[in-house]
Structure 1
Amino acid sequence: MWVTTQIKCNYHPVINEKDILIKYYPLEIVESFEGLEGQITTYTLDKISIK
């Protein structure tokens, strides 16, 4: 997981962990599963607009 401390927001479309969102904002999340070899899901933040 790549994160930043420069974005302060309590909402993230992938992460619901309040402990993470209080300190960091995830920019990229890479998920892999032990039972599914070669299966990788990557979530990347390209643009953010908070109003």
Structure 2
Amino acid sequence: MSRELLKDYAFCVLYTDMMNPTSNKIYREIGYEKIADSVHLGFDKSE
């Protein structure tokens, strides 16, 4: 999928669980590199 996206776009992004060493090793092997950490925030709508 990444290869297909890169035919039309300059880059693509993969969000992954950094605590999973197996999948992250595979992602590095196929050319992905860590560029940033992200945070998911949730807000309680009841207030």
Query: Which TM-score band applies after superposition, normalised by the shorter structure?
Result: under 0.3
| More helix, by proportion | 2
| More strand, by proportion | 1
Q: Whose RCO is larger (CA < 8 A, sep 6+)?
A: 1
Q: TM-score, normalised by structure 2?
A: 0.25
User: Which protein has the larger Cα radius of gyration, Structure 1 or Structure 2?
Assistant: 2
